[in-house]
Amino acid sequence: MTRSLLVFLACLLYVGQSFAHGPSRLKVEESIVVKAPAAKVWALIGDFCTIDKWAPGIIKSDCQGGNEIGASRVLTLGKEGGPQIAEELQKYDAATMTYKYKITKTDMTVLPVTTYSSFLSVKDNGDGTSTVGWRAGFYRGHPNNNPPADQNDEAATKAVTGAYQGGLAHIKELAEK
């Protein structure tokens, strides 16, 4: 009993240490096959300003600049007065149905990341279905050593993965209606 406890504590220490040494950039890649043509899916999600139409939990998108590079949106999460995330459009290509944006200001309680950018894409599968891809590169919320548990690599990865899986599932649901 004591020995297993010791082993457990040693493991904790080891895990703690392996994350204690300078952050590495993290990557999340999620995708979903949608039984709808790419054009229909892109019509649903291709507008940078209206992410609140399809992303669960985003109740408002205050947006300026449309789909031009440099356009910005401030997302409100959960409820009026809830946490806010500010984002900026970096690339936009309607022909390949992709856009890329970065976070300019986050709220650590909901999305504990730094230097985050994200790619959203719709690919035509040629059989009436399409694949929506959503992927991001980012660092954890706490940039220095010994991050608190809610701002370490795992917390950051978990938050982004959860948001993307939820978003993609909802895209599928809306597009297949």
Task: Answer for the pair 160, 111: CB distance below 8 angstroms, yes or no.
Answer: yes
CA 122 to the chain's CA centroid: 16
Residue carrying structure tokens 């031009």: 68
In 3D, which of 38, 63, 37, 39 has the Cα closest to residue 50?
Answer: 63
Q: 122-141: which residues touch other proteins (CB under 8 A)? A: 135, 137
* Piece in contact with other proteins (CB under 8 A), picked from 16-24, 42-50, 106-114, 126-134: 16-24
Tokens of 81: 């007065």
Among 40, 53, 60, 100, binds other proteins (CB under 8 A): 100
Among 50, 67, 90, 165, binds other proteins (CB under 8 A): 90
Q: In what order do the strands lie in the sheet with 72-77?
A: 26-34, 130-140, 113-124, 98-105, 84-93, 72-77, 58-64
What character string, x for contact with other proteins (CB under 8 A) and - otherwise, covers 17-36? -x--xx-xx-x---------
Q: Does 102 bind other proteins (CB under 8 A)?
A: yes
- Shortest approach of other proteins to residue 169 CB, angstroms? 23
Site residues (CB under 8 A) for other proteins? 18, 21-22, 24-25, 27, 90-91, 100, 102, 117, 119, 135, 137, 145
